[in-house]
Amino acid sequence: MASVSVKTGTTQTDWGTDPKGEIIKLYTLKSRWIEIRLTEYGARLVSVKMSDRNGKVADVVLGYDSVHDYLADKKTFLGGVVGRYGNRIAHGAFGIGGQQYQLSLNDHGNTLHGGPVGFDKCVWRGEVAHDSVEFTLASRDGDMGFPGTLIAKVVYSLENHALRLDYSATTDRATVVNLTNHSYFNLNGDEAGDILNHEISLNADRYTPTNVELIPTGELAAVAGTPLDFREATRVGLRISDAHEQLKFAGGYDHNFVLDGENDQLKLAAKLYDPASGRLMTVATTQPGIQFYSGNFLDGTYTGRHGVGYTRHKGLCLETQHFPDSPNHPYFPTTLLKPGETMHSTTIFTFDIESQIA
């Protein structure tokens, strides 16, 4: 791969302030191959710059040039760490030990990505090491309705062309937690067209079907014979408009896939390839699931870097996670976290150049 910069390491700068006047920092991590930018607002991945097969550098995640633009975006969760519970909880309600909890609602009577003021809309505090940044957030007891004071951490580490995210959390009261990153990728560059010609493969024989509100039914269904079968590399747009109930509900792909392999063990989850640029991204994770979202609800409301409107299918998300609505499905892998325990998970995004998906 061509080099973005031969100067490696981590730098930081003041990037603006939040509505309370708190300074928000921007961090830059560089290797010989890629440059990563992160911010304390939402522990957010702002930028991933890399070369294509011809040496042309582009940003392969959607993002903005300023904190102000992120503060103004109320819908997309662009690049943020979402929580306390990433994805959906039906009716914003669940029980722990016989006690019921009601969360703040923000998605057609359900709770999405932690509620109206989820972790992506909070200022985390960053601490720099040579090749990593650790972000920490304290979420008080009762925040968005969730029980327990939660201390959440995410460490972004850059080694060569691999970006590693290590999540952890502790609590002083039994709660539920599901942290993930909500970056939108476009391997042809954030100034380019849509992602429908990207080729994707997912290491999953099953997925969790949903109802019309995108809440899991509780079934673990086979992908075989459906347009949700990505066990072999397939163009994103090939079947996205098929007359399949699941695609109609979501207006495309917005589904949790049940990853093959052991939970809590690092395993290949996905490969994403852009034939136009030759860029390849692989995703490995210890999580049991991955949400493939094809940017169906991007509608041009927001304009990103270079004045480019973020319209439908402009980017796609690969969110490593526990399953949506797990607190209400006892047969799903548990998201319960108790005092004295620590939640850990790891996800690694590796960026490379290939002529085709291997």
Tell me, yes or no, whether 228 lies in a domain: yes
Task: Quote the pLDDT of residue 54.
Answer: 94
Task: Quote the pLDDT of residue 1.
Answer: 36
Cβ atoms of 291 and 216 within 8 Å: the answer is no
Tell me, yes or no, whether 169 lies in a domain: yes
Q: Where in 52-149 does DSSP place strands (E)? A: 57-59, 81-82, 88-89, 93-96, 99-102, 111-112, 125-128, 132-139
Cβ atoms of 284 and 350 within 8 Å: the answer is yes
Task: Quote the pLDDT of residue 7.
Answer: 54
pLDDT surpasses 80 at 269: yes
pLDDT bracket for residue 5 (50, 70, 90): very low
* Percent of the chain clearing pLDDT 90 (strictly above): 92
* pTM summary value: 0.95
pLDDT bracket for residue 129 (50, 70, 90): confident
Tens digit of pLDDT for each residue in 130-170?
789 999 999 999 999 999 999 999 999 999 999 999 999 99
Look up the domain containing 144 and give its range: 9-353
CA distances from 103 to 23, 92, 151 (A): 29, 5, 19
Check residues 354 and 84 and name the one with the higher pLDDT.
Answer: 84
Q: Which residues are catalytic?
A: 182, 319
Task: Quote the pLDDT of residue 300.
Answer: 93
Task: Quote the pLDDT of residue 131.
Answer: 86
Helix locations, 65-188, DSSP H = 67-72
Q: What is the CATH number of the domain that holds 267?
A: 2.70.98.10
Q: How far apart are CA 233 and CA 231, in angstroms?
A: 7
| Helices and strands per DSSP (H, E), number in the chain | 2, 27
Residues 6+ apart with CB under 8 A from 175: 84, 96, 146, 147, 148, 150, 336, 337
Q: What is the mean pLDDT of residues 259-287?
A: 97
Task: Quote the pLDDT of residue 354.
Answer: 83
Name the domain count of the chain. 1
Tell me, yes or no, whether 80 lies in a domain: yes
Tell me, yes or no, whether 2 lies in a domain: no
pLDDT bracket for residue 59 (50, 70, 90): very high
Cβ atoms of 3 and 32 within 8 Å: the answer is yes
Task: Quote the pLDDT of residue 356.
Answer: 41
Tell me, yes or no, whether 106 lies in a domain: yes
Tell me, yes or no, whether 342 lies in a domain: yes
pLDDT surpasses 90 at 254: yes
Cβ atoms of 126 and 133 within 8 Å: the answer is yes
Closest CA to 352 of 52, 41, 42, 63: 52
- Name the residue type at position 198: H
Q: What is the mean pLDDT of residues 76-80?
A: 97
Task: Quote the pLDDT of residue 355.
Answer: 54
Tens digit of pLDDT for each residue in 291-320?
999 999 999 999 999 899 999 999 999 999
pLDDT surpasses 60 at 2: no
Tens digit of pLDDT for each residue in 341-350?
999 999 999 9
Tell me, yes or no, whether 1 lies in a domain: no
Task: Quote the pLDDT of residue 8.
Answer: 63
Tens digit of pLDDT for each residue in 220-252?
999 999 999 999 999 999 999 999 999 999 999
Task: Quote the pLDDT of residue 4.
Answer: 34
Task: Quote the pLDDT of residue 318.
Answer: 98
For residue 245, the surrounding DSSP H or E stretch is: helix 245-250
Tell me, yes or no, whether 4 lies in a domain: no
HEC profile of 171-211: ECCCEECECEECCCECCCCCCCCCCCCCEEEECEEEECCEC
